[in-house]
Amino acid sequence: MNMSMKSNRRRGLLVLGLAAAMCSGTLAVAQVAKAASGKQFPWSDASLSPDVRADRVIQEMTLDEKILLLHGQGMPMGAQTDTRSNGGAGYTVAIPRLGIPSIQMADSAYGVTRGAAMGRYSTALPNNLGAASSWDTAMMQTYGELIGTELRDEGYNMTLGGGVNLAREPRDGRTFEYMGEDPLLAGTLDGNVEVGVQSQHIIGDVKHYAINDQESGRMAVNANIDQRAMRETDLRAFGIALQISHAGAVMCSYNRVNGVYACQNSYLLSDVLKGAFGFKGFVLSDWGGTHSTVQASHAGLDQEQPGDYFYGDALKKAVEDGQISQAELNEHVHRVLRSMFAAGLFDDPGKTQVPNVESGYATARQIAEESMVLLKNESHILPLAGVHRIAVIGGHADVGVLSGGGSAQVDPPGGSPVPQKPGKGIFAAFIHQAWMPDSPLRALREALPGTEISFSAGDDVAAAESAASKADVAIVFVYQWEAEGFDLPTLDLAPEQNKLVEGVAAANPRTIVVLETGSPATMPWAEKVQGIVEAWYPGIRGGEALAEILTGKVDPSGKLAITFPRSDADLPHPRLVTPPASSEPQLPPKGKPPVDFMKVLGQGLPAFQTYYDEGLKVGYKWYDAEQKPVLFPFGFGLSYTTFAYSDLRVTGGTATTVNFRLKNTGEQAGTEIAEVYAELPAAAQEPPKRLVGWARVALQPGETKQISIPVDRDRLTIFDVAHKDWELTPGSYSILVGSSSRDLPLTQTLTLP
């Protein structure tokens, strides 16, 4: 057994010891299910549809029991005395009389959160935007399966992950939780994550619905956007994710959309989600995102979280007074029960157990290897070969890799090896920096045992320059931390990090930069270094995955799911829209009684405005339409081998198929992500092109494959606001094929009626 495997085993045993302690709430789901398992109900027949079973339960429910399913039981985080809760972000209580189990919810964007805090282990996967850069639908299902498995192992039965908001504002503090800037890519990948999650009998969730694109003033901001732009971009991503996954839940967002809170917005919830999308699950509010009883109910909100300010006694009174009909109430209850039946919560409640740590490690590493993007490789500086001395500099690379913060934070086993910085504001308790204990320095030393590898912390630029000057290659680690609750003021790295890269590159031109970021980063030094690797927040095995990429044991295959602009000035909104102080929730003065912030948020805060007047032009569509050069385009990523495209043939009619040949023209095996775009007729009034398909293709040296990519009709349609429907514009369509949104060597024109 090599040293790396021994280290993994020791960590695994440590984690298994931590995981043995389970709180009493973990057993609640199984206990209720066990108590009910010996009793047969009219809805016990698993051969019946979820809809029929839900309706049979409703026939036996009292008004109070119905209300119980439509709200949470308070904020379980922190000092939790309610043993019915499993300690996650939220829950609804069980109703033993009817055999209804509790819904135990956990934040789980890139792994189950609060694991170590509850004495449990959870695998930290690469962050969502990083994983999306794999463009691998099968791998995204694996991503979801692991999260679903560990949720189930820890006694949860509902995920609160599933972020699919498009990156209209890449400085958004939660960009790292989402799937990039293109609706087809983001929706397809998140849909597959939810398929994986729900395969483990977990209720899936897609969030934050909708137009939730900044954290600054997120409880008060009003997103102004036209209907066509909304349907073709952000909402299209949600629709695709739901079409693929049939997720059991959708979480509505904090913000207002065109003047109405998302969680009481009838256009979003009733017209589009439940109407146009045919969504059959339930809508739950983001925590504190409910602002009314009658209006929210009429609009289509099914469940309030985390408490019962509006959907408790107030909802009961509204039903008794006739403001909300019994049919409307039953519709909310039906949707919750239906999702519970569809996910198997009644029939297969599961059993708590220690997660399979080694399996989680292996999956995390594989996803990280597919996610990392090689952005620059001048003079073939990578992979590292024939190098005698390497200077590793900065970024805490001696102890670990960075992770994203907030409600998505997965606890590092054993704690963060880098001291945590305290958070700020009302959410300070769960917003902190944390590093995963998988050292890139150690992994490189294990991968290159015959190479002298030194480390310099990078705090002293002169010392870093000296170390670099004595090495054959210098590798500088830089990072940008993101978390829920705040936005990045700029895509620039901290000045001291840019200064470090500049100094090292001046001391040694053979410099490689490794970025650990959750968003694009601007790089004033990009022309001065020979290699650039975007590692994202690479998870619990990120250091080892990075070493495999740098040494060439794994060929880099990731491609950007988001554009890297040259500067903030090139963004659709060069200056981030920030709220006035009156639009931010405030901490109570010292000495005053504590404030229930979830109730405060529910009462609403003064609105301020942001205008998404770029409309359809999100991400690469903006840069294309405005003819702006970029640092690295959407879909871009290098390999250690090369690929050639040829022989494009496009067939049209009721279905469109794109056929071409792809050859590995290099000397080693590699995987290419072949991308297909379409230019619509001028009458469609669309941005220059849109992604309509792709394929991940593994090729041996010299191997050629015939590739066929179907393009569904709906990938070519536009939304007609007047007719409230999707339409195909007649005319000439250009189909473009290549390796990125700005490298498309193959083109063919297709005329569609």
Q: For residue range 202-229, what is the model confidence (pLDDT) as tens digits?
A: 999 999 999 999 999 999 999 999 999 9
* Total of domains in the chain: 3
Q: Is residue 651 helix, strand or coil?
A: strand
- Residue 601, in any domain of the structure: no
Please identify, among 569, 603, 628, the residue that sits at the C-terminal boundary of a domain: 569
Q: Is residue 593 helix, strand or coil?
A: coil
Domain CATH for 644: 2.60.40.10
Q: What is the pLDDT of residue 351?
A: 85
Q: What is the pLDDT of residue 27?
A: 45
**Measured CA distances, 699 to 30, 661, 666, 709, 723 (Å):** 48, 12, 10, 17, 46
Strands (E), 169-327: 205-209, 221-224, 249-252, 256-257, 260-261, 282-285
Distance CA 491, CA 480 (A): 9
- Residue 62, in any domain of the structure: yes
Distance CA 28, CA 101 (A): 8
- Do 327 and 58 contact (CB within 8 A), yes or no? no
Say whether both 207 and 278 belong to one domain. Answer: yes
Domain CATH for 99: 3.20.20.300
- Residue 80, in any domain of the structure: yes
Which helix (H) or strand (E) covers residue 317, if one does? helix 313-320
Say whether both 376 and 321 belong to one domain. Answer: no
Say whether both 366 and 447 belong to one domain. Answer: yes
* CA angle (599 as vertex; 483, 320 as ends), nearest 5: 135
Strands 746-752 and 473-480: unpaired
**Measured CA distances, 471 to 392, 468, 507, 529 (Å):** 10, 5, 10, 15
Distance CA 212, CA 235 (A): 11
Closest to 66 (Cα-Cα) out of 327, 349, 298, 339: 327
Q: Which residues of the chain have pLDDT under 70?
A: 1-38, 76-82, 115-117, 422-430, 587, 590-591, 593-595
38 is written with which tokens?
């010996």
- Do 111 and 150 contact (CB within 8 A), yes or no? yes
Which residue range(s) make up the domain with 246?
Answer: 3-343
Distance CA 521, CA 375 (A): 12
Closest to 52 (Cα-Cα) out of 275, 337, 302: 337
- Do 635 and 526 contact (CB within 8 A), yes or no? no
Q: What is the pLDDT of residue 78?
A: 41
Residue 710 C-beta-side C-alpha neighbours within 13 Å:
6
DSSP, res 595: -
Say whether both 399 and 317 belong to one domain. Answer: no
Distance CA 238, CA 269 (A): 12
- Residue 215, in any domain of the structure: yes
Say whether both 320 and 281 belong to one domain. Answer: yes
Distance CA 644, CA 105 (A): 47
DSSP, res 632: B
- Residue 673, in any domain of the structure: yes
- Do 687 and 617 contact (CB within 8 A), yes or no? yes
Looking at residue 356, its amino acid is: N
Distance CA 691, CA 676 (A): 6
Q: What is the pLDDT of residue 443?
A: 98
Say whether both 558 and 639 belong to one domain. Answer: no
- Residue 599, in any domain of the structure: no
- Residue 615, in any domain of the structure: no
Say whether both 175 and 49 belong to one domain. Answer: yes
578 is written with which tokens?
């920030």
Domain CATH for 399: 3.40.50.1700
Say whether both 387 and 298 belong to one domain. Answer: no
Please identify, among 569, 599, 630, the residue that sits at the C-terminal boundary of a domain: 569
583 is written with which tokens?
């639009």
- Do 92 and 323 contact (CB within 8 A), yes or no? no
Say whether both 252 and 148 belong to one domain. Answer: yes
Say whether both 338 and 363 belong to one domain. Answer: no
Q: Which is it for the CA torsion 393, 15, 410, 417, positive or negative?
A: negative
> What is the Cα Rg of the chain in Å?
26
- Do 618 and 233 contact (CB within 8 A), yes or no? yes
**Length of the chain (residues):** 753
Residue with tokens 């299910």: 33
- Residue 275, in any domain of the structure: yes
Please identify, among 283, 316, 343, the residue that sits at the C-terminal boundary of a domain: 343
Q: What is the pLDDT of residue 335?
A: 98
Say whether both 440 and 501 belong to one domain. Answer: yes
Say whether both 646 and 530 belong to one domain. Answer: no
